[in-house]
Structure 1
């Protein structure tokens, strides 16, 4: 099936309150434009340089999300235009995004990444680190006014065990519910990718990051 057919099939299956992020990393501009022509406006990229190039070359009404692991020193490159940064996993990074957003006279929406997987290779905060950052931001509104923490993001373990994935998704949903009561901006729970987005939605996800089911398998060359 074509990219536009894949996209329309997925979109028609999503509840209204769930945002689809089309993960376009390593994909050529022509593929992104095909999805764009089919009505998709939210795209996610993992690599800063690739994101900057695509932003420069593609339609300006695209809403770009950075979904990879962001190094603090590279935050300045995407600060002028990025709509949402998914994987904020340290206070140091959050402060740097705030600094760069301030320079660009913007407020940048961010999600805090929580470590829910049973894998050491995945990035993310534990519950106490999450609490510390949220507490710091709430008590330092004068300093941190150019970022807005709008929710949480997580990646499940890479496994066939659906019960384990479900348990990890539910653990993040319960954290989201717990902190939402004290954080009025909390509206986004970014959970679920091509292989598990339906399960993620059933566990409360409001944003899914789908790449291969739209664009086909990734090109690593």
Structure 2
């Protein structure tokens, strides 16, 4: 475990660390918890269910299929990857069944170089936010993105800056808007410099340091 990085991130109260535990064991999750990490992110629902511990705070950070929503609502504190009305509607349906409000982030696709990336086009954000405003059991807490891989720093800076500007625009009129989730192991420092207050770090946490 990279205890130095863990301490560095946990000592920054302005930025929430989400430890990405994809392909790591429940024992490793427990070790991170012992070191002070409290929020964990999983990409795949099956892996999440295998590691789920109600004593920990969990986020779903990967693409979520509508038929898997029932397995995570009520168990996760945040679904970070909502990018369509269809998915938001399914979360609303399941949350209503459980009589709870599910917190979500809207995933915005800022990358112009990677066609495989999921996320909502920026020009469709207003429409999805307006739709979510009609849902009683879904609460939008902010925005999330994944920057382009293998691109110059200035490209990623432009992407992060775009999302930060969208976040600030909507935060002004939305009291629930609190989280701007952007930055991973390879680019979290740049993301924080561009305004991120939630980083999703996996690989770097499990390196020996």
The two structures have a TM-score, normalised by structure 2, of 0.94
Deviation, structure 1 residue 136: 2.2
Structure 1: gaps (5+ residues): none
- Output the CA distance in 2 between the equivalents of 1:40 and 1:62: 9
Q: Does 2:14 match 1:20?
A: no
Aligned-residue Cα RMSD (Å) equals: 1.5
Equivalence for 1:191: 182
Structure 2: gaps (5+ residues): none
Question: Are 2:5 and 2:205, in contact at CA under 8 Å, matched by a contact in 1?
Answer: yes
Equivalence for 1:171: 162
Deviation, structure 1 residue 182: 2.5
User: Across the two proteins, how many residue pairs are aligned to each other?
Assistant: 207
Question: Are 1:152 and 1:190, in contact at CA under 8 Å, matched by a contact in 2?
Answer: yes
Q: Does 2:114 match 1:123?
A: no
Question: Are 1:83 and 1:108, in contact at CA under 8 Å, matched by a contact in 2?
Answer: yes
Cα offsets for 1:169-208 (capped at 9, x unmatched): 0000011111112222111000000111111011000100
Equivalence for 1:97: 91
Question: Are 1:150 and 1:185, in contact at CA under 8 Å, matched by a contact in 2?
Answer: yes
Cα offsets for 1:83-140 (capped at 9, x unmatched): 10011010110010111111122211100000101211001112231110112233x2
1:62 paired residue among 53, 56, 64: 56
Q: Does 2:10 match 1:11?
A: yes
Deviation, structure 1 residue 3: 4.3
Deviation, structure 1 residue 5: 4.4
The two structures have a TM-score, normalised by structure 1, of 0.89
Question: Are 2:88 and 2:132, in contact at CA under 8 Å, matched by a contact in 1?
Answer: no
Equivalence for 2:45: 48
Equivalence for 1:214: 205
Structure 1 residues 79-158: aligned runs within 5 Å: 79-118=73-112, 119-138=114-133, 140=134, 144-158=135-149
Cα offsets for 1:7-48 (capped at 9, x unmatched): 224434xx3211000000110111111111111110000000
